Structure 1
Amino acid sequence: MPRSQGSGAPIASPAAAAVFTTVLTRGPASRVDVCRLTGLSSAAVTKAARPLIEAGYLRELAPTGRTAPGAGRPASPLAIAPEREYFVGIKITGDDLIGVVTDLGSRIVTSRHRPVPGFDVRTDASTTSMEPADVVAAIAALTTELLDEHPGFRERTHRLGVAISGDVDRGTGTVRYSPFLGWRDVPLAALLDEATGLTTTLENDVKALAVAEHWFGEGVGTSSFALVTVGTGIGSAFVVNGGLVSGAFGVSGEIGHVPIGVDGPRCHCGATGCLEAVASTQALLTEARRATGVDDLTIDQAVDLARSGDQVLRKVFAIAGRAIGLGLAVVANLLGPERLVVSGEGLDAYDLFEESIREAFSAQAYGSAGRCGLTIRPLPFEEWARGAATVAVQCMVSASG
């Protein structure tokens, strides 16, 4: 399938990128506000905004209020034109593909789910290896379904964002290692470019979610922001000085593989004592089965029994919660973020974790690092797919500039 040839926003300079990003994430905003937020002069903002207005990516809203006598005409705030371009975002989990179409402002306008090839929904287990070619074909089919839902989607959609757990090289579009899919060195972006005809951006799923939260969620307006996710895996992503920390080799924020105990259990990565080996959903379930002697215990049953007062299982959750709290304190102590957001599917049982998480965090956070507080923000997987679409928006801005 030929690659989409959409031109994207006419962003020809760092100043234009700064103006567009500011209006996108903080708008509607007056030119005065854009000047203040970007540090650009009024003339520079006007020059940068003009081609974006002419191309339909920005619009001037009706003037608001009146200016002082002699101060000129009332200000006309700048705002994005959300329907100018659409983006597809796909989140890949171990058993599901979650796809969304977002507008330019990353508002989800439609979404769909599709099972990952090789996953048997009857047994809730992977019955065959998930071959990259099969997953690529499923993503291409899901993308087609999404774009066919509205006549304007296909014409105005040129970019696809894909979020996946593991070690991802965004620059080359390669999945270097994804333990939950069993993939190594898969050139996924190139395969999807060919299969969908869209320009594909591949990113680690936690980093993608952090980009969406920084631009449109809890992290708006912060220069230092951290996101930690708890569930099948435990990950984190950091924003420092307004930019996502990607790491020299594309790996950063792997809080799940920070050791929180010298003699802890062995992790799937090969190390011992990793946070993920203690407090991920699978690690917690393994310990719950060991503690109760019930080999077929499910995580839902463990949660229900703990909530009903089973002291053995309550202790299992408390130990995992303490480990998570220590991991959060590591993030606070090293980064000193303005905000620390905790999300992920593991938060479904947060009531069983909360006390031990907060106690461990308070005890281990050093001095004023603990002042960032903890924001608990459960997010459905559609929001992770939105994160993938947001990364595609971000790439449009950087590629144009």
Structure 2
Amino acid sequence: MFTTVLTRGPVVRPEIARITGLSSAAVTKAVKPMIEAGYLEELPQGERAVEGAGRPAYPLAVRADREFFVGVKVTADELIGVVTDLRAQVRDAHRMAVSGRSVEQVVADIAALVRELGPEYAERTHHLGLSVSGDVDRPGGVVRYSPFLGWHDVPLAELVAGETALMVTVENDVKALTVAEQWFGEGVGADSFALATVGVGIGCGLVVGGRLVAGGYGVAGEIGHVPVAAGDGPACHCGARGCVEAIASEEAIVGRARAVSGDPALDMAGAIERAHGGDAAVRAVFAEAGQAIGLGLAAMVNLVGPERVVVSGEGLAAYDLFEEDIRAAFTTQLFGAAARCPLVVRPLPWEEWARGAASVSIQSLFAA
């Protein structure tokens, strides 16, 4: 019930009952303690009142400043942190370079960043969300495998909680971003949707039946490891060959661009510049990456059938170089009515990833 007000409010009680399937009496009973605890408020009389057959129904709204949440996106090179309110609106943001990639260094850096973020919100901040790329066991708070950090089986939630005295939730970074979109962005009101990210890796978060899908092993939606090339395709860091990520990740694109250009010092920015400048061989590298992404997305849509797919990530800086190939492969490979699934491109800054981590901590509090 609370999440309905959080994601769709201000909203009147009859509408809450319609959305949730609860009776009016059950809604009233559930609302009362949330109002008493200061999480919900009834808008003042005369403000957006809705006239019904009986007395006016006054909308309920979340008191955004009742509690604050910290979200931190952990990368191999830096931490991006935000403080948000209950509506996941960013109140403060800060970045910090990591002192090293060891578990001890990153945990200490997270604690230092938390101390710097919004000290004026500290008294009402009890929850911290962390987002990390790779295989994450959210219930256990363990990073089982993060290729970019080189971590295996790290009890990150426990370690960071010990340093910060906050309640810590750890989630895969793409799934965390998906939660933010589900509750506060493109996914509000959608029963099913997918969020795909293009950049250092290729990720995907899935919402089906209004719930984020983790799967039996916590790795549902990993389209980056869908095989789209033959058995002799390029090797992937996961140990397989021909994965989408082995063809379309930033590292893969740069590696092949260096090979075809003969420039071993080429970086992603240089590859993009060469492609824009008309280098046919480098443009072909981006085209192949686009085709791989499109095939991976189509496989996911054919299997899961989301209402829409949102594409985001830091790799969108090069999106114009492979958009046509993504859409062509995506459209060609879709089956039947799935061809109507829209592909929405939405660039998001790094702070949105940290906001995703904060959204996970908000979700953890109220899902409990």
| Residue number in structure 2 paired with 1:20 | 2
| Residue number in structure 1 paired with 2:289 | 320
| Residue number in structure 2 paired with 1:14 | none
| Residue number in structure 2 paired with 1:280 | 249
| Residue correspondence of structure 1 range 302-321 to structure 2 within 5 A | 302-321=271-290
- Residue identity in the other structure for 1:137: A
TM score, norm. by length of structure 2: 0.97
| Residue number in structure 2 paired with 1:364 | 333
Following TM superposition, by how much is the alpha carbon of 1:338 offset from its aligned partner in structure 2, in angstroms? 0.5
Secondary structure at the aligned position of 1:329 is classed as helix
Indicate if the aligned counterparts of 1:332 and 1:370 stay in contact, CA closer than 8 A: no
CA distance in 1, matches of 2:246, 2:99: 27
1:67 has 2:51 as partner:
yes
CA distance in 2, matches of 1:103, 1:66: 27
| Residue number in structure 2 paired with 1:138 | 109
Following TM superposition, by how much is the alpha carbon of 1:67 offset from its aligned partner in structure 2, in angstroms? 2.5
Following TM superposition, by how much is the alpha carbon of 1:340 offset from its aligned partner in structure 2, in angstroms? 0.4
Paired positions, count: 365
Alignment counterpart, residue 75 of structure 2, candidates 80, 84, 93: 93
Task: Map Cα deviations across residues 220-246 of structure 1 (whole Å, 9 max, x no partner).
Answer: 101111011111011111111010111
Indicate if the aligned counterparts of 1:117 and 1:134 stay in contact, CA closer than 8 A: yes
CA distance in 2, matches of 1:65, 1:49: 17
TM score, norm. by length of structure 1: 0.90
1:194 has 2:178 as partner:
no
CA distance in 1, matches of 2:17, 2:181: 23
Indicate if the aligned counterparts of 1:288 and 1:316 stay in contact, CA closer than 8 A: yes
1:44 has 2:13 as partner:
no
CA distance in 2, matches of 1:370, 1:81: 41
Task: Map Cα deviations across residues 153-200 of structure 1 (whole Å, 9 max, x no partner).
Answer: 111000000000001111111111101000001110000111000000
| Residue number in structure 2 paired with 1:246 | 214
| Residue number in structure 1 paired with 2:323 | 354
Cα distance 1:156–1:66, how it changes in 2: closer, same or farther (>3 A)? Answer: closer
Secondary structure at the aligned position of 1:221 is classed as coil
Secondary structure at the aligned position of 1:391 is classed as helix
Task: Map Cα deviations across residues 251-270 of structure 1 (whole Å, 9 max, x no partner).
Answer: 21111111001121000111
Following TM superposition, by how much is the alpha carbon of 1:147 offset from its aligned partner in structure 2, in angstroms? 3.5
CA distance in 2, matches of 1:276, 1:116: 25
- Residue identity in the other structure for 1:366: F
Alignment counterpart, residue 302 of structure 2, candidates 329, 333, 351: 333
Secondary structure at the aligned position of 1:342 is classed as strand
Cα distance 1:337–1:382, how it changes in 2: closer, same or farther (>3 A)? Answer: same
Alignment counterpart, residue 259 of structure 2, candidates 270, 287, 290: 290
Following TM superposition, by how much is the alpha carbon of 1:278 offset from its aligned partner in structure 2, in angstroms? 0.3
Cα distance 1:359–1:74, how it changes in 2: closer, same or farther (>3 A)? Answer: same
CA distance in 2, matches of 1:80, 1:372: 33
Indicate if the aligned counterparts of 2:49 and 2:58 stay in contact, CA closer than 8 A: no
Secondary structure at the aligned position of 1:172 is classed as coil
- Identity of paired residues, percent? 60
1:55 has 2:37 as partner:
yes
Following TM superposition, by how much is the alpha carbon of 1:66 offset from its aligned partner in structure 2, in angstroms? 5.7
Indicate if the aligned counterparts of 2:92 and 2:118 stay in contact, CA closer than 8 A: no
Indicate if the aligned counterparts of 1:237 and 1:245 stay in contact, CA closer than 8 A: yes
Alignment counterpart, residue 160 of structure 1, candidates 106, 115, 128: 128
1:114 has 2:96 as partner:
yes
Task: Map Cα deviations across residues 31-87 of structure 1 (whole Å, 9 max, x no partner).
Answer: 11101110111111011000101111000013435625xx33211100000000000
- Residue identity in the other structure for 1:265: P
Indicate if the aligned counterparts of 2:50 and 2:58 stay in contact, CA closer than 8 A: no
Following TM superposition, by how much is the alpha carbon of 1:311 offset from its aligned partner in structure 2, in angstroms? 1.2
Which sections of structure 1, spanning at least 5 residues, go unmatched?
A: 1-18, 119-129
